[in-house]
Structures are given as structure tokens and as C-alpha cells.
Amino acid sequence: MNQVARKKIVFIIVEGPSDDTALGLLFNRFYQNKQVYIQILHRDITTENGVNPSNIISSVCNEIKTYAKANHLNSSHFHEIIHITDTDGAFINNESIIEDNAIANICYSETEIRTPNKSNIESRNQQKSANLTKLSSCSQIWGIPYHIFYMSCNLDHVLYNKLNSSDEEKENDAFLFAKQYKDNIPGFTAFISQSDFSVPGSYSDTWKYIKEYLHSLERHTNLGLCFLQEENGENPS
């Protein structure tokens, strides 16, 4: 059997390489008795052209099946699927999206999104919020336990309290974050689950919370539930 199948696989889906840099080593050390695999999408699957609530689950499933086929695996080799996503302000009302022709790129704050193309962001948010709602109500993909956890407004916001970072800043901050916690996994899990930005409550409670008001722009995460459920031997609910 392929060596990767000797341990149950924790399949972790992230959007970009800096997400892997920040969290990959920490997940590996937390799940010492599992085989951790990080799938870097290099894109936001929830906003891809043609992806909607009718096919978002199959789109995620295809990512897992492609990896499984390449490694001669089946669904029984997987322990769980952890999907980590940015919220990008997807659930805010359109009045908080401000058209600003003086800027070239989207600019996020905790109260608004400024953009040179308001209608594009409105359409993106409609698509993304619908897909996130669908995914957050899904408990299994390909018969494997599945949960999606959010970083609001994005991973840099939660981990480093920064918005609108450049790619170089993202990678540098990610490296420093991993270095800070690589030998202190209890410190990392406490940071992500017990900080003032850690959303309390059940899995469904945390998703209800992030959809309200401007929360999907503010600094919030429910990723702590991932570690709490593993330590307690339970699934988020």
C-alpha cells in the first residue's frame, strides 16, 4: 500500500500557499497520529465561474477524489476533511460595498469594502455566501466527515490582525507565525480557540453568527472548534 495510506488522512483544503506556510506544520504536529495532507487550491473555489450551491459539494469532492486516485486511495483511508476559507465580507449588505474609482484594487476594512467595481463584488458576495451556506450545512463528502471553518475577513486578519496584505507580506507573516508556534502547539490551539476573536458556541451557532451584520468583515474565526472536537473525540455540531 502507498505509504501515505498507512495512517488515516486528514485532508485540509486551503486557498493559498501562505495559508499552508502558516498552518501546515502546526496541523502536522497537532495530528501526530494521522497523515496530514494540505491541498492548496491557489484559488477560491466558492467564487469560481459556474460554481453554485447545486455543484459546490461535487466541486470540493473532485479535489479529494483526484488526490485519492493519484495515490491509489479510497474514502476509507481518510479520517476527515477540513476546509479553511476566508469570508471576504461575503455576508454583508450591499450598502457596505462602496464604489471608489480612486483605487485600483479591492480594499477591506471592518466596516466596508471599497472597490472600483461595486456590481462585481455584489455578485461575488451573492455567489460566495450561497456556496458557504451550502458547504456549512454539509457534514460528509464522499462519505468522509467534512467541516468548513472560516477566517474573517481573511486568514491574515485572524492570525496577524492585518488586512490588505501583499503576497510578500502574507508569506513573511505566515513564516513568522509558524515559527512562533511550531514548538508550542498548546499555545497555538489556545490562541485560535480562546482569543477574543474566537467565536463561541456550536458549529451551527458560529455559522449563524458570521452571517449577521458586518461580522464577515470583522476579525472572527471558528477554527478553534476543529481542535476542540479532536481533543474531545467529537465532531463539531
Phi, psi of 92 (to 5 degrees): -75, 165
- In this structure, the number of other CB atoms found within 10 A of the CB of residue 214 comes to 17
Average pLDDT, 10 consecutive residues per value, the chain (237 residues): 66 94 95 92 94 98 96 94 97 98 95 97 98 98 97 97 96 97 96 97 97 98 89 57
List, for residues 42-62, the tens digit of each pLDDT value: 899 999 999 999 999 999 999
Residue spans of alpha helices (H) in 95-212: 118-136, 155-160, 167-181, 185-194, 203-210
pLDDT, residue 228, reads 82
Alpha-carbon span 10 to 166, nearest angstrom? 29
Query: Quick one: DSSP state of residue 232?
Result: H
96-101 long-range contacts (CB < 8 A, ≥24 apart) are 96/214, 96/217, 97/121, 97/122, 97/125
Q: Which three cell numbers stand for residue 222?
A: 471558528
pLDDT, residue 12, reads 97
- Cell 458560529: give the residue: 206
pLDDT, residue 7, reads 86
Query: Quick one: DSSP state of residue 200?
Result: P
Phi, psi of 16 (to 5 degrees): -140, 165
